[in-house]
Homo-oligomer: A and B are copies of this chain.
Amino acid sequence: MQRRPGTITSTSPPESDRRRSSGSGGETRDSGGAEIDLISLTKTYESGDVRALDDVSARLAPGEFVTFLGPSGAGKTSVLRLLAGLEFPDRGQVLLNGRDVTSVPPQRREMGVVFQDYALFPHMTVYQNCAFPLQVRRVPAATIRQTVDAVLNTVQLGDHGDRYPAQLSGGQKQRVAIARTLVYEPQVLLMDEPLGALDKNLREHMQLELRQLQQRLGVTCVYVTHDQDEAMALSDRIAVMRDGRIEQMGSPRDLYRNPRSQFVAGFFGKMNFIPGEVTGSDSDCVHVDTELGVVRASRESARLSQGSLTAGAPVTVAVRPEKVSVTASPPRGTAVNSLALTVEYIRYAGAFTYVDGVGRTRETGVVACKGPENSDITTGEPAAFHFPVENTFVFEREPADQRGAGKPE
């Protein structure tokens, strides 16, 4: 990811392809990372009534960068705690390079943890905090100074070494927490929202640093973030969690393109959801009757169990705005997935434009996303919203109050 100077800063929208293409730019990985197996991890906190983790299994390849994504309380931190050896699972195992480490104490796992709440040592300066992991490893003092100075510069805190954590701003504390973990280059990096308190520029700088370090050392990374862009930009794979379970795990592109449930679909990028009922299916398509008309989805993109394929089953149709095209001319009557809607609203949003179309009842609608080019679509006028059957998903309908699940704005 060596960058050209004099160029773009700031955020980018979902780039599901970026990972793949930028992989070539990185330096070659050595095989320093560890393979991690999570086997049926289950955890209920002593005082809690809920299962924080419920049968979580996953295999992480050496040097892989895996992000755990999910709504607040989904169990992301709990996964990290079990991995780091801070908690003991009720059931299940953690394997490190095939070895069962479930009951190995934290300090013998060689995992670096960036804690969600930083866990800085209040009685040590920034410098001392960062030197700590090296000192306990008996690194020579001169090396320590060099290394710590370097890592503090990386996190842009080179001149804050003598401060105590209480004398730092929130983002500065977070950077100390990162620096303290990076400084000793652990085999496995566990990071719990390590960049949450940083502004975009710094965050992107840090993302780059993290990714470079991770690739240089080939460490296996387990990452937690709430920032979907960040997850997409950094991760080889993403695990979407919900209520203590992994809902789906795959490459960012995979999750974006092939979400397995309404929840996952709603968790990445934008998505139109249209409630409906199955009316039937043929060899290619599933037919769904919605308020806006009949919608068809290819069999591959219909994520329905056999039971839900029966007519009358409540389902949700989903399609991404950028897969929806809008034309001012009314749709031909027979065209598949071409809905006649009224343009309610056109939002010009810097680089592109959103077109909101609503049905007759104005209760349901579809949003299309198009480039900034002008067109002849006008607010209040009818327009045709088209989308391909292969990009149309059908999910079993989830209860509306499902926490964190693509909750309507």
Question: Residues on A close to B: CB < 8 A?
Answer: 3-18, 21, 45, 47-48, 69-73, 76-77, 116-117, 156, 163-164, 167-172, 174-175, 192-193, 196-205, 208, 226-229, 256, 266-275, 320-322, 344, 347-354, 356, 358, 362-365, 367, 369-373, 403-409
Contact = CB atoms under 8 A, between A and B. Distances in A.
A16 B350 CA distance: 7
Contact of A117 (B71, B170, B227): B170
Given A73-B171, A167-B45, A349-B15, A406 B322 contact: no
Nearest to A271: B9
A41 B161 CA distance: 27
A9 B406 contact: yes
A226 B204 contact: no
A6 to B, nearest CB: 4
Contacts of A11: 13, 228-229, 269-270
A354 to B, nearest CB: 8
Contacts of A348: 17
B15 A77 contact: no
Contacts of A175: 72
13 contacts: A4-B363, A6-B365, A8-B271, A11-B228, A14-B350, A47-B164, A48-B163, A72-B199, A200-B267, A205-B407, A322-B350, A353-B371, A371-B371
Q: Determine which residue in A47, A71, A352, A406 has the highest number of CB atoms from chain B within 10 A of its CB, and name it.
A: A352
Given A208-B409, A351-B352, A197 B170 contact: no
Q: Determine which residue in A171, A175, A269, A321 has the highest number of CB atoms from chain B within 10 A of its CB, and name it.
A: A171
Nearest to A155: B72
Contacts of A268: 10
A197 to B, nearest CB: 6
Given A370-B372, A373-B371, A71 B15 contact: no
A267 to B, nearest CB: 7
Contacts of A275: 6
A11 B21 CA distance: 24
A50 to B, nearest CB: 9
A11 B268 CA distance: 9
Contact of A6 (B9, B14, B363): B363
A409 B9 contact: yes
Contact of A7 (B70, B201, B227, B273): B273
Contacts of A77: 169-170
B6 A403 contact: no
A404 B201 contact: yes
B72 A197 contact: yes
